[in-house]
Each structure stands twice: as structure tokens, then as C-alpha cells.
Amino acid sequence: MSVSLRMDGVRFSYPSAEGDVLALDRFDLTVEAGEVVCVLGPSGCGKSTLLALAAGLLSPEQGAIVAGERPVEGPGVERALVFQKHALFPWETVRGNVEFGPRVGGVGEAERRKRADELLSAVGLSELDGQYPRQLSEGQRQRVGLARALANEPKVLLMDEPFASLDALTRRQMQALLVSVWQARRQSILFVTHDVDEALALGDRFVVLSARPAKILLERRVARPRDPEALYSPETRALREEALRALGA
Amino acid sequence: MSPRSEPSGRNRSRSDLRDWAVGAASVAAALCAWELLGRSGVYPPHLFPPPSAVARELKSLAASGDLLRDTVASARRWSLGLALGAALGTLMGLLTGVLLPARRVVSPLMNLTRAIPFIVLLPLAMLWFGLGEASKIAIVAWGVFCPVWLSTESAALAVEKEYVWAARTLGAEGWRLWREVHWPCCLPGVVTGLRLAVSTATFALAAAEMSGAFDGLAYRIFYSYQMFQTERMMAGVVALGALAFAVDRLFVAASRRVLPWREEAA
């Protein structure tokens, strides 16, 4: 079962050398339960801030963030964050990273192992469970990052350009992996990216943000099902053109 | 996809072996030069004994049991001082690295006191803790405390926000967050500080034993100097050096075990 994520009139600024920078102001965005929403926008427009707010790591100065029925007042295991630079714990093995959430959450050892086994096999890393992050390739690290986020069985996945640092082929594989994960569990996904094609391949809907303070410039639905051909259909091409125009490209 | 390729084991061990052989050859060459110079009579043998004479002296020290007694006495002071200083330094580093108010209160005071070379505190330590073991252990502990404290503190200050954020979204808060993220992030700093501290400890030990001890390797060196027994003095130097070298190697090996996740531990 998944839950929706709603941001209502959110305002957030952060301090910098030149005074406070307004990242978001009167910002509204909703991810329906089980929906995949992709957020596109120029660098530094506050996309990551958006995710940190949804994760409960930052608190809005104004407005409300609600997951399901409950207001977000801090981090919670039902909302998992996947980082652009994986942020794997270098002192834990692959398995240690994946089991981290269940372990601090008090899940018993047998159940923990079972969950990690399943996830590691789903991301194709069963053989590498005893390795340390530094011994992995960037794509493998990103897979571990995804598995670690999924180990708490979250209802909302917050993803911060998770595949941006990967080569094109690995990125395609990771996108397919994410789709199969989503098809199995139907998490609500808020997916930040700067890659229009990625947004078109993954999202039920995408929004394009302006520069700071971020406003929604464009919002479009993308039809499913999503076979590779659909990426080159006239409808998708029109959407791509529209998104690129909104991004100022 | 395969794990990032690393130099194959055989190549690495071959180049290790070569490095080791070069190192051993250079030590052997230095010993030969020393031996030749000692025997040449350029310097009087009682001022510049060759290594063969030093080795003979070392053997007789070992046979009489003095060597073992001195080594045990030194090792005891050294390890007790190191353990005490390392424990206090780690605690202090974590305290001032994690709690900003603690840093404000303690750091200026600590920075002032650590600017004082610890050797000049030796007379004070003897006044306060007496001529026995306590003053020697205290001075070693003080010498160890500072590098461990500073290095732990800087590691605690450098804990990456992303790790903390990742752990919090995964459900770790409060003490758990501290135990699961801050501590493993600080551990390399503790180890680096300890490695520095191992040599400061030897230094402090030598100073302490040279001013008012009745056994110990540095005491033996100093006593032999006063008795004008150059060979015995050099034997003591060699024994102390060998001990310090062995401890450092042991420490590197141990830190690889404690930090298996590091590229090159220590």
C-alpha cells in the first residue's frame, strides 16, 4: 500500500554568504498514491531542497508537507531517500548497508537477512554482498543505494538524480530496474532529474521548475504503457519539445 | 559488471618484495659502513664502537636479564600511558568535536596547554606524582592525549552530512545515529592520532626515564652514558629503536584489521 505526498504553500530559504537565498516560495506539488512524478529543472533551482523537505530532513518556514494523512515533522522510514552520490556508508559492507535500516529499526536478524537476500538478488548483487562500497563500480553502488532505501519497505521513494553519474547503458538498466521495483510495490515516487528523456521514460507525470525560487512552469502527464517505441512516438516527441522549451534549451 | 580492477595480487607482491629487498640492502650497507668505520680507527673505539661490538654488548645484556627487565619496565610505562592518554584523548575529541558548547569552553584552554612542550612539564609531574611510576605514566599519557584529541576532533567535525541524512531517513536518530554514523566516521581519526601518539609516547617515555628512573631502556642508555659505557649505551639505543619500530609495524597491521573498509589503513 502506498501513500500520497502533498506539499502545500511551502516556503524555504537557506543562508549563504550573500544573505538568505529563497529556494521555494508558495510551492505546491502532489504525488498521488502509487504515482511516479518526475521533477525537471535547471541546476541549483532547489530540486534537492524539495526532496530534503519531503524527507523531513529540512522543515519548511511556511506551508505544510503531508504524507498520506500525517504531516511530515521529521524523517520517517515510510519515506526513503536515494542520493545522487549514493551516500553508502563506507564502513559497512554491501550487506551491512542494505541491512542498516532494518537493523536500526529493530528487525530481527533472520528477517533482516531474508530481506537483504531478496533485494540483493533483485538488484543483481548477491555475489558481492561482502564487498565494501569502495570496491564497487559506480553503477553497483547506485544499485546498493536503491536496495538500501527499499529495505525499510518505504511507501514513498524520494530520488535525487540517482542515475545522473552513470553511463548511458547502465542508466537504462537502472531505469528498467526501478520500473520493475515500482511495478511490484507501487511506491509513490518523486524523482528529480535533469534528463528529459529519463522523465519521459519513468514518470506518470513530470513538472518543469523555474530558477530560484522554484515555480512550476510546465506540468504534463505521460501515457502508459511505456515500451521503448513509445519514446519516439509523435506524442512523446511533442512532450519532449515542450519540456525542453520550458527548460530554456 | 565486475568490481573495479585492482593490480593483480602477484604483481603487487612482487613489487612489495622488491621494495623490501631494496630496504634491507640499504640497512645492510649502512651497517657495513658503520662496521668498517668503527674498525678503521679513524675514531677511538670507545667513542665509536662498531656494530659487532654493540651486538656483543646486547647479547651480554640479554644474558644477564637486564635487557628483559628494562624492556618490560619501559613497555609497561609506555603501554599504560598510551592506553590512558588514548582513552582520554578519544573521549575529549568526541566531546569537543560533537558538542559545540564543549568546544567553546575547552578548546582555548587545551590549545594553550598543549603549546607547552611536555618535556618541561616533567619536573612538575615528578612533584605532583612522585618519582615512581605514576609521574612517568602521566607524562606519556599527556604526550599521547594531545595528538589523539586533535585528530579525533577534526574527524568528528568532518562527518559528512550525507551519511547523517542517509542514516536519519533510514530510521537512526539520537544515540543510535551517533553510534552508527559519527563513531565509525571518527574511527580513522582516532587511529591516525594514535599512530602519531605512538611516537610521541616513545619520546615522552625516554624523557621520563632519563630523569629519575631505576630501570627501563632509556634509563639504561642514560646510565651507560654517565658510566662512559658507549657500547652499552648504543646497545640500549638499538633495543629501544627496535622496540619502537616493532610497535609501529604492529600498529599498522592492527589498524588494517580495525578499518578493513579503508583503501590504505593508516
Query: Cis (ω within 30 of 0) for the bond into A225?
Result: yes
Q: Fill in the DSSP letter of residue B43.
A: S
Using a CB-CB distance cutoff of 8 angstroms, which residues of chain A are in contact with residue B183?
Answer: none
- Please list the pLDDT of chain B residue by residue as tens digits (266 residues): 444 444 455 566 788 889 999 999 999 999 999 899 888 888 888 888 889 989 999 999 999 999 999 999 999 999 999 999 999 999 999 989 888 888 899 888 888 888 888 888 888 888 888 888 899 999 999 999 999 999 999 999 999 999 999 999 999 998 999 999 999 999 998 898 988 888 889 889 998 998 878 899 999 999 888 888 889 999 999 999 998 889 888 888 888 888 888 865 43
Environment class of residue A214 by beta-carbon count within 10 Å: exposed (0-12), middle (13-18) or buried (19+)?
Answer: buried
Q: What percent of chain A has pLDDT over 70?
A: 98
The C-alpha cell at B10 is: 602477484
Environment class of residue B8 by beta-carbon count within 10 Å: exposed (0-12), middle (13-18) or buried (19+)?
Answer: exposed
Interface contact flag, A92 B261, Cβ < 8 Å: yes
**Which amino acid makes up residue B185?**
C
pLDDT at A157: 95
- Please report, for residues A109, A244, B29, B52, the alpha-carbon distance to residue B34 in angstroms, rounded to integers and kept in the order given: 62, 77, 9, 10
Using a CB-CB distance cutoff of 8 angstroms, which residues of chain A are in contact with residue B256?
Answer: none
- Please report, for residues A119, A141, B257, the alpha-carbon distance to residue A95 in angstroms, rounded to integers and kept in the order given: 10, 12, 19
**Cβ contact B183:B97 at 8 Å:** no
Q: From A88, which residue of chain B is nearest by alpha-carbon distance?
A: B163
Report yes or no: A52 at the B interface, CB cutoff 8 Å: yes
C-alpha distance from B67 to closest chain A C-alpha (Å): 42
Hunting for cell 662496521 — which residue is that?
Answer: B35
Question: A154-190 pLDDT, tens per residue?
Answer: 999 999 999 988 888 888 888 999 999 999 889 999 9
B213: left (phi over 0), alpha (psi -120 to 50) or beta: beta
- The average confidence (pLDDT) of chain A is 90
C-alpha distance from A212 to closest chain B C-alpha (Å): 23
**Residue of B5, B164, B170, B183 best to disrupt the A interface, most CBs of A under 10 A:** B170
Hunting for cell 678503521 — which residue is that?
Answer: B40
Instruction: Please state, in angstroms and rounded to a whole number, the distance separating the CA atoms of residues B265 and B255.
Output: 6
Instruction: Please state, in angstroms and rounded to a whole number, the distance separating the CA atoms of residues B156 and A221.
Output: 46
Question: What is the average per-residue pLDDT within A220-247?
Answer: 83
**Cβ contact A179:A203 at 8 Å:** no
**Which amino acid makes up residue A61?**
E
Report yes or no: A58 at the B interface, CB cutoff 8 Å: no
How far the first Cα of chain A sits from its last, in Å, is 38
C-alpha distance from A183 to closest chain B C-alpha (Å): 22
Interface contact flag, B4 A136, Cβ < 8 Å: yes
Question: A48-97 pLDDT, tens per residue?
Answer: 899 999 999 999 999 999 998 899 999 999 999 999 888 999 999 999 99
Q: How many residues does chain A have?
A: 249
Q: Fill in the DSSP letter of residue B235.
A: H
Using a CB-CB distance cutoff of 8 angstroms, which residues of chain A are in contact with residue B190?
Answer: none
The sign of the torsion formed by the CA atoms of A71, A74, A78, A79 equals positive
Long-range CB contact pairs, A24-27, < 8 A, 24+: A24/A49, A24/A50, A24/A53, A24/A60, A24/A213, A24/A214, A25/A213, A26/A63, A27/A63, A27/A213, A27/A214, A27/A215, A27/A216
**Cβ contact B48:B37 at 8 Å:** yes
Q: In 3-state terms, what secondary structure has residue B121?
A: helix
| φ and ψ at residue B65, rounded to 5 degrees | 90, -10
Strand pairing category for A5-16 and A62-67: antiparallel
Radius of gyration in angstroms for the set of CA atoms belonging to chain B, rounded to a whole number: 23
Which of B67, B33, B63 minimizes the C-alpha distance to B50?
B33
Structural domains of chain A sorted by starting position, each given as residue range(s) with its CATH number in brackets: 5-78+154-247 (3.40.50.300), 90-153 (no CATH)
Interface contact flag, A75 B168, Cβ < 8 Å: yes
b/e burial code for range A18-38 (CB count within 10 A of at least 16 → b): eeebebbbebebebeebbbbb
Which of B76, B80, B200, B69 minimizes the C-alpha distance to B138?
B80
Interface contact flag, A104 B171, Cβ < 8 Å: yes
Instruction: Please state, in angstroms and rounded to a whole number, the distance separating the CA atoms of residues A159 and A165.
Output: 13
**Residue of B168, B169, B173, B261 best to disrupt the A interface, most CBs of A under 10 A:** B169
Which strands sit side by side in the sheet containing A62-67, from one edge to the other? A19-31, A5-16, A62-67, A70-71
Instruction: Please state, in angstroms and rounded to a whole number, the distance separating the CA atoms of residues A196 and A220.
Output: 12
Interface contact flag, A89 B172, Cβ < 8 Å: no
- Within 4-43 of A, beta carbons closer than 8 Å to B belong to none
Q: From B5, which residue of chain A is nearest by alpha-carbon distance?
A: A135
Interface contact flag, B1 A105, Cβ < 8 Å: no
Instruction: Please state, in angstroms and rounded to a whole number, the distance separating the CA atoms of residues B12 and A182.
Output: 45
pLDDT at B81: 94
Report yes or no: A128 at the B interface, CB cutoff 8 Å: yes
Report the residue from B169, B172, B184 with minimal CB separation from A91.
B184
Report yes or no: A72 at the B interface, CB cutoff 8 Å: no
The C-alpha cell at A212 is: 530560484
Question: A181-223 pLDDT, tens per residue?
Answer: 999 889 999 999 989 989 998 999 999 998 888 889 899 998 8
Question: A88-139 pLDDT, tens per residue?
Answer: 999 999 999 999 999 999 999 999 999 999 999 988 899 999 999 999 999 9
